[in-house]
Amino acid sequence: MTRTLREAPPQTGSNQTLDPQSWDDIRAQGHRMLDDMIDYIADIRDRPVWRPIPEEARARFRAELPRQACDLGEVYREFADYIVPYATGNVHPGFMGWVHGGGTAVGMLAEMLAAGLNANLGGRDHIPIEVERQIVEWTRAMFGFPREASGIFVTGTSMANLMAVWVARTAALGQTARQQGVGGEGALLTAYASTAAHGCIAKAMDLAGFGSDALRSVAVDRSHSIDVAALRAQIARDREIGLKPFLVVGSAGTVDVGAIDDLKALSALCREENLWFHVDGAYGALGVLSPALAPRLAGLEDADSIALDFHKWGQVPYDAGFLIVRDGQQHRDAFSAPAAYLRRETRGLAAGSPWPCDLGPDLSRGFRALKTWFTLKAYGTEKLGAMIERTCTLAGYLKARILAEPRLELMAPVQLNIVCFRYRAANANVVNGDIVIDIQESGVAAPSTTLLDGQLAIRAAIVNHRTDVGDIDALISAVLDFGARRTSGDGPAPEVG
Ligand SMILES: Cc1ncc(COP(=O)(O)O)c(C=O)c1O
């Protein structure tokens, strides 16, 4: 049955809004929440890294749509009892899986402030946009990009890489491709990345309409960096058969082992061949903040665009992905689209063009810049750089422990903060896969796995600023312990520690 809107004058009064009936009550509740979350971070070592989710907790989130109001205190209790204990675990120093930042209390507080302002950073003239522009300027300075560079916060590097493909596409085909589609010429465009590049690059080629087959996977050398000679040869072969190479994606820190492509050589090749040079620097790009690591990233300053995540090595709470493009005009050419309802003015709230919505697909955008601004200001880049360097030193320590232990085998060179290794066993792929799950379920640590030449490796990425020597020792002990149990026949009895 449809209900018509009432024609009587609307009722007035504070109980007609969603504001609290008592500001004192919500203030007290808010203080409790804040205290609890600060305790959660401060006491994180007292908890397991991760724990399996009991059916009862999962069932809580299969509830009916709530039609009636529920007391905030009760909702919060449900959060405390059923959400907090079963989070991913990346706040914990024992979390070493995939590539996860640990976050900070500073970032958490900034996120709360941003939610209070409830700013929409798609556009218009307000200081939150200036804060984002400040981060663009700082990022530009970090990478030595020219003044005309532009940048934008996005969810993560997967999105930033996709946007870079779109920018490179418009640069190659011209803006008419935005109205007419990529057409026949677009079908010939070909991109290049190493076999070690992250899967989101192939996905970006797919989503951009080229198809993932239009991405050539180029072989890597022994250090897992792209073979530049093989790349050059592939480009020549493709040109010969009438294809149109347009984009090379270099990796500044591959996801598997932390290899850095020779960015100088790639930028020189791209200049020679007139190709767009994009760098996937998801976590590695922020290595420029460490004086020891920065020289290894030489060439980054010559890129046409860089994708990176402040939520990884930068420790900004999720999410805080970022794309910076050397030529701001080319960036705008790929995304700006006039609309009557988004008309720009020279004064008033609609001033301040170009707006962030001219630099990406999103119109509604949150204030990711604030937690990044707080993080960069509260710690300073020297301290952040030292923290990043320390994660690499810890990876070196883990490598040394592996090399000193005959029951373990190092599986790849340790170049940054990622260590791939395994427990020596007859059925090593199965045994090591089980060891990783056993360790995760024990709550002691949370490594992940990867496949290197068909061999399953235990993969520890030291990204969290809280990780210390004791956490590395605990990981080694757990691998040896579960490895012995898995190979002696008496399976482990996982306990949540
Ligand atoms: C090298 C690399 N590229 C891209 C990504 C994807 O980034 P995001 O998860 O922020 O989308 C990752 C994630 O770990 C990565 O390591």
Residues 6+ apart with CB under 8 A from 389: 290, 292, 293
CA of residue 160 to ligand 1 center, whole Å: 10
Say what the pLDDT of residue 2 is: 56
**The token pair that represents 438 in the structure block:** 């056993």
Q: Is 101 in the pocket of ligand 1 (CB under 6 A)?
A: no
Name which of 267, 260, 271, 333 is nearest 303 in CA terms: 267
Q: Is 200 in the pocket of ligand 1 (CB under 6 A)?
A: yes
**The token pair that represents 77 in the structure block:** 């209790």
What percent of the chain stands above pLDDT 70? Answer: 97
CA of residue 312 to ligand 1 center, whole Å: 9
- Between CA 432 and CA 422 the distance in angstroms is 6
Read off the amino acid at residue 239.
R
Summarised one tens digit per residue, pLDDT across range 431-468 is 999 999 999 999 999 999 999 999 999 999 999 999 99
Burial class (CB within 10 angstroms; exposed 0-12, middle 13-18, buried 19+) of 320: buried
Q: Which residues of the chain have pLDDT under 50?
A: 494-497
CA of residue 252 to ligand 1 center, whole Å: 11
Say what the pLDDT of residue 327 is: 98
Q: Is 156 in the pocket of ligand 1 (CB under 6 A)?
A: yes
Number of Cβ within 10 Å of residue 242's Cβ equals 7
Say what the pLDDT of residue 9 is: 79
In this structure, which residue's CA is closest to atom 12 in ligand 1? Answer: 282
- Between CA 418 and CA 256 the distance in angstroms is 8
CB 474 within 8 A of CB 445: yes
Q: Is 309 in the pocket of ligand 1 (CB under 6 A)?
A: yes
Q: Is 99 in the pocket of ligand 1 (CB under 6 A)?
A: yes
Summarised one tens digit per residue, pLDDT across range 135-170 is 999 999 999 999 999 999 999 999 999 999 999 999
Say what the pLDDT of residue 151 is: 98
Residue among 154, 155, 158 to mutate when testing ligand 1 (max atoms within 8 A of CB) = 158
Ligand 1, residue 156: give the atom nearest the CA. 10
